[in-house]
């Protein structure tokens, strides 16, 4: 998808930001959505982030993957899942027979929430709260309307909150297709960072195999 943003689209997004018109005029194209996310002030997270990170992928992808929020590297690059969690995601997709270029990849929250303990330089991830997920749901809903995926995969609990609008624990909801309206279904699975954090090798292998199975299940639903 081209990330070129025309001057008109950029001006419209700037106007909407300045005049607080977001709710009155949701984006009508992927280009508008990208411009809007980059300028978004719907919650306070923009203050500490380098930029808003919009989703990316084919404009009419059958499969949409939703993560939590951009990490340190995504915040700098302006693209989702390009850091360590992205490498786990890519490995899972490959094992599940899904080409990353065929899926639309986005996040429940579009700005990087973090803290820098004791004045250091390292930016440590902080989980977005429910208010931030709700504020950003406006963008996720816009992406869902524009892309119209057949299947949405929620990667972890924060993504599930963004997709369903209510707490949907991963453990109790994995492995099944959940109707989300608009002729779309959702699948819940682990967040790739959860797999990275598991220190027990056997548990890590098992969870990765389940992650791959969930992605393959979603791929099957999307055809």
Binding site for ligand URA (CB under 6 A): 67-71, 74, 80-81, 83, 85-86, 107, 193
Query: What SS3 string covers 80-118?
Result: CCCCHHHHHHHHHHHHHCCCHHHCEEEECCCCCCEECHH
CB of 106 to ligand URA, least distance (A): 8
Beta carbon nearer to ligand URA, 17 or 193: 193
Beta carbon nearer to ligand URA, 68 or 143: 68
Q: How many CA atoms lie within 13 A of 156 on its CB side?
A: 20
CB of 158 to ligand URA, least distance (A): 8
Beta carbon nearer to ligand URA, 52 or 80: 80
**Distance (Å, whole) CA 188 – CA 39:** 30
3-class SS of residue 178: strand
Q: Which two tokens stand for residue 159?
A: 């993504």
- In this chain, which residue has its C-beta nearest to ligand URA? 67
CB of 70 to ligand URA, least distance (A): 5
CB of 215 to ligand URA, least distance (A): 15
Beta carbon nearer to ligand URA, 65 or 142: 65
Task: Please list, in sequence order, all residues whose beta carbon lies within 8 angstroms of the beta carbon of residue 200, skipping any fewer than 6 positions away.
Answer: none
């Amino acid at each position: 998808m081209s990330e070129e943003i025309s001057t008109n689209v950029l001006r419209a997004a700037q106007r909407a930001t300045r005049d607080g018109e977001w709710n009155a005029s949701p984006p009508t194209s992927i280009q508008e959505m990208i411009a809007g996310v980059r300028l978004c002030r719907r919650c306070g997270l923009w203050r500490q982030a380098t930029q808003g990170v919009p989703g990316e992928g084919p404009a009419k992808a059958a499969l949409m993957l939703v993560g939590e929020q951009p990490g340190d590297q995504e915040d700098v690059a302006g693209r989702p899942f390009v850091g360590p969690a992205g490498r786990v995601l890519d490995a899972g997709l490959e094992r599940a027979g899904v080409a990353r270029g065929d899926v639309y990849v986005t996040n429940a929250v579009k700005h990087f929430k973090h803290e820098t303990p004791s004045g250091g330089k390292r930016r440590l991830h902080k989980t977005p709260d429910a208010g931030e997920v709700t504020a950003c749901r406006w963008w996720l809903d816009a992406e869902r309307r524009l892309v119209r995926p057949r299947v949405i995969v929620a990667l972890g609990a924060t993504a599930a909150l963004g997709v369903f609008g209510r707490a949907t624990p991963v453990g109790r909801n994995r492995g099944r297709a959940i109707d989300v309206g608009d002729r779309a279904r959702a699948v819940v699975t682990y967040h790739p960072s959860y797999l990275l954090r598991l220190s027990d090798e056997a548990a890590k292998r098992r969870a990765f195999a389940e992650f791959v199975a969930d992605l393959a299940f979603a791929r099957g639903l999307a055809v």
